Structure 1
């Protein structure tokens, strides 16, 4: 005790403080340590000369702690052993060695390391944090034990018991229906997957025709405006169509008996036409080639008509015996 009291006046006389004195058992900084600046929103009771660790291994110490210009950020300057290589996107947090132990700065590795920290690098506030203090843990535990969340859970359990008591058959039926529904959905799994695939193809097609759809929607507005402007004409047209349909229905109703009578009188004619059978097409064939028959049409070769002609020069066959030319009459 006397030796410790003797050291304090010496430190005061030399202008030094206890924070400038390295703690025994600290990290070996080597011959060429480098400086880092770590920004914290809250450093708790971190003090200079505290350890800087990586995976619980001391690699440096806190050199000084300053307040940033915004009066909200703590700037912690640390010294790191020159042989330690850290990624440029490393993080940091204020840790605690035990429940009531000292605070220290823990450097954490990022999920995807990149680059390397060098002398003068800064670990920004968005990559730093701190561990909860013992007071916060005890406060949360006190809230839990004094009717906090446990009391709420108890109320929930009581309400569930009150709701389910006496309703066991209905609950059992409901669970059975849910089981059937899940079983049916599982049985239609392939159809559901096909429907989802079809919907995916539809959305892909719509996405590919997005410009056309946008153009159609852009022109739909002017078209609707034209329809709105011609609403009176469209209404008149629809009313006229309604009147026309009424007149047509009335005309058909009035001429129904006459139409039925005409059809009945037409029945014998159609029956006779049906009885002619193949004779009618034959007659139509002769009618189309009149005055020549089908046989006469066979003599036509190309653009010429060939025929056989006989001349009878026996005038007696034509004039007869009483003719003055043949009989010698006066």
Structure 2
């Protein structure tokens, strides 16, 4: 009898202990943590659900529409692991098949929940009971640990000191007068505003640079030859020669200053030659058969003056008597022809 009384409490304690080990407190519904009324089941795939609590809220457009009921690890066909979250959604909530899911938290230390985002024009096909939001439509949460580690790296890595040095250098560059500093930033603001107005021209500039880069890419072999050692030496020698030529031109500067008095003389000579050349030469100065003042002058000197000086006069005219002709009078045309013939003989006309 004593043994039975002793075994009974031990059995009760064992049952309670085993029941306590199998009991999951998170399975108990908490007030305000679930949804009332009928629900339908969906699955949400995540690549990572670190720190997602049990029975996490499912929120859409700022309102709770469901609750996560189970979190399990699964494996895709390609062998990669992912996490599947089972969720119960209120039956009166319609979610399109293109809904995206992300892990969010309202505060820095708050619990993580599942936030659903519905597209504005994707309600042609809705999620039904048993459907899945694939991993391609989900985003993992930003880990607080990673954020704090990034902040620690920023603070301890010397970035604050570098920022302080940058501010000091900027204060040294800017003028001491605040009005001038304000004017500088005003000009910069106007430049930015003007650039925003002429974005089409900026696009044309960028397109031109893109086309230039494409042309250079097509001429890559030629540019490679120009950048060889021998080509670089040739270009350097050519640049040195150009510099020497510029130096020679610079050395001629004193000579040019000494000859400045020739400028008005040259201008006067140019005017004189402009008046003499048309008088001496015609529009064909190299054609010796063409009539010109120079040819007439040469003919008079060669055919008239030189023979007269060499041989002297042959006939001395003392008196000229005009006797009327005995025959009929000479027509006027014949008289003009005889006069022209005589003038042509003496070289007056040709």
Bin of the TM-score, shorter chain as denominator length:
0.3 to 0.5
TM-score (norm 1): 0.45
TM-score (norm 2): 0.43
